[in-house]
């Protein structure tokens, strides 16, 4: 059943590439008006153009999501441009930043999600069937020797989503999370891994029961479902979308 988001106002952070880009485009194709933000202006503008070509209203702005003031300014501008906020998708991650990974991951993966929700809440409280979807990771469900900061931040985000769901329920705002497995897209971590460390890439792929890495579109589909009326009685949950990868640990 096609999902119809006509008239809905959607914010997608980290919306210029990968999962964020696919999610923003999916919402636009389903009839929503969309705002996206990201760090890189060039990629952001390219994606803004792709969304605009769908025919919806689109707002785009660069935003440093580790900066509380920048988050408040972005949410305010997005709400003004869209005429309100119905759906918030917190997708950005600090894993690719160049500083201290613990600081970057907790500032962006966790605190940005907290601050975005706080800034958007007054707008979403006025909406009908409002929904927040936090993009976490299966890394938050298991130990990680390679990226412990990322795993810990994503685990915190999963826990925060449950608390968020309880807090926002009286305002009829649902909060859920999507936990992707290993997602491959141009310029992403697994794309670089395929080129730089193909043995690691193939080893991970072999450990996924479906025998392949995931696609951003597959995560976008799950996000749209959780944001839709079809998920109207679902809140505080984390939906794993990983081709069975987490089942093998």
pLDDT (tens, 9 = 90+) of the chain, 249 residues, equals: 679 999 999 999 999 999 999 999 999 999 999 999 999 999 999 999 999 999 999 999 999 999 999 999 999 999 999 999 999 999 999 887 777 899 999 999 999 999 999 999 999 999 999 999 999 999 999 999 889 999 999 999 999 999 999 999 999 999 999 999 999 999 888 899 999 999 999 999 999 999 999 999 999 999 999 999 999 999 999 999 999 999 987
- pLDDT of the residue at 1: 61
Domains and CATH numbers, the chain: 9-242 (3.40.50.720)
Distances 11 to 32, 48, 115, 141, 212 between C-alpha atoms, Å: 10, 13, 14, 26, 30
Within 10 angstroms of residue 95's Cβ, the number of other Cβ atoms is: 18
Contacts for 145-148: CB closer than 8 Å, 24+ residues apart? 147/95, 147/101
C-alpha 235/C-alpha 169 separation (Å) is: 8
What HEC string does the chain produce?
CCCCCCCCEEEEECCCCHHHHHHHHHHHHCCCEEEEEECCHHHHHHHHHHHHHHCCCEEEEECCCCCHHHHHHHHHHHHHHHCCCCEEEECCCCCCCCCCHHHHHHHHHHHHHHHHHHHHHHHHCCCCCEEEEEECCHHHHCCCCCCHHHHHHHHHHHHHHHHHHHHHHHHCEEEEEEEECCECCCCCHHHHHHHHCHHHHHHHHHCCCCCCCECHHHHHHHHHHHHCHHHCCCCCCEEEECCCHHHHC
Q: What is the largest CA-CA distance in the chain?
A: 51
Looking at the DSSP assignment, which residues form a beta bridge with residue 34?
A: 10, 58
C-alpha 134/C-alpha 178 separation (Å) is: 6
Residues labelled as active-site residues: 150
Direct distance between the N- and C-terminal alpha carbons of the chain, in angstroms, rounded to an integer: 33
C-alpha 142/C-alpha 220 separation (Å) is: 23
């Amino acid at each position: 059943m096609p999902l119809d988001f006509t008239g809905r106002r959607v914010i997608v952070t980290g919306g210029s590439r990968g999962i964020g880009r696919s999610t923003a485009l999916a919402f636009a194709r389903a009839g929503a008006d969309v705002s996206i933000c990201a760090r890189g202006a060039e990629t952001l503008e390219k994606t803004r153009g792709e969304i605009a070509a769908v025919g919806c209203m689109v707002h785009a702005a660069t935003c440093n999501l580790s900066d509380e003031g920048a988050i408040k300014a972005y949410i305010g501008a997005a709400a003004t441009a869209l005429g309100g906020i119905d759906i918030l998708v917190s997708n950005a991650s600090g894993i690719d930043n160049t500083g201290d990974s613990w600081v970057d991951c907790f500032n962006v993966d966790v605190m940005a999600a907290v601050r975005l929700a706080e800034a958007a809440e007054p707008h979403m409280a006025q909406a009908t069937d409002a929904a927040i979807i936090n993009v976490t990771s299966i890394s938050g469900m298991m130990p990680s020797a390679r990226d412990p900061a990322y795993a810990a931040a994503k685990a915190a985000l999963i826990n925060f989503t449950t608390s968020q769901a309880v807090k926002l329920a009286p305002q009829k705002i649902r909060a859920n999370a999507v936990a992707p497995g290993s997602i491959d897209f141009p310029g992403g971590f697994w794309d670089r891994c395929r080129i730089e460390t193909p043995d690691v890439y193939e080893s991970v792929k072999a450990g996924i029961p479906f025998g392949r890495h995931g696609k951003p579109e597959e995560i976008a589909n799950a996000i749209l479902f959780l944001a839709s009326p079809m998920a109207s009685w679902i809140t505080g949950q984390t939906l794993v979308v990983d081709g069975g990868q987490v089942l093998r640990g």
